[in-house]
């Protein structure tokens, strides 16, 4: 994933919500442009806002895909479902 490609997706008009998938299995839903921050000097990292005051800093080299459909539920290791 390149920062230029991510800027294109994050600034699209109309905006389409998307989900990042990372190499370690984590997924981050970006519901609107306000949920993602890309600094002007960024080359590899972005900040993704989650619920409340939670956020994650993501290295784009760890992104395996960006999906534009609804977030898929995946089973947790203990068998429960998660989003």
For residue 10, the surrounding DSSP H or E stretch is helix 3-10
Interval 12-56: pLDDT, tens: 999 999 998 999 999 999 999 999 998 888 778 899 998 889 999
The per-residue pLDDT for 82 is: 52
Place of tokens 């960024």: 42
CB 21 within 8 A of CB 67: yes
The per-residue pLDDT for 73 is: 54
3-65 architecture in CATH?
Roll (2.30)
**Domain extent listing, the chain:** 3-65
- Provide the pLDDT confidence category of residue 3 given band limits of 50, 70 and 90: confident
Place of tokens 């299995």: 25
For residue 80, the surrounding DSSP H or E stretch is none
Neighbours of 55 (CB within 10 A): 14
- Provide the pLDDT confidence category of residue 81 given band limits of 50, 70 and 90: low
The pLDDT of residue 80 is above 80: no
More confident call, 2 vs 14: 14
């Amino acid at each position: 994933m390149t920062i230029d490609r991510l800027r294109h997706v994050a600034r699209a008009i109309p905006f389409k919500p998307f989900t990042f998938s990372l190499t370690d299995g984590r997924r981050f839903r970006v519901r609107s442009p306000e949920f993602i921050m890309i600094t002007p000097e960024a080359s590899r990292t972005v900040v993704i806002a989650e619920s409340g005051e939670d956020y994650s800093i993501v290295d784009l080299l760890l992104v395996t895909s960006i999906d534009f459909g609804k977030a898929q539920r995946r089973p947790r290791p203990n068998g429960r479902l998660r989003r």
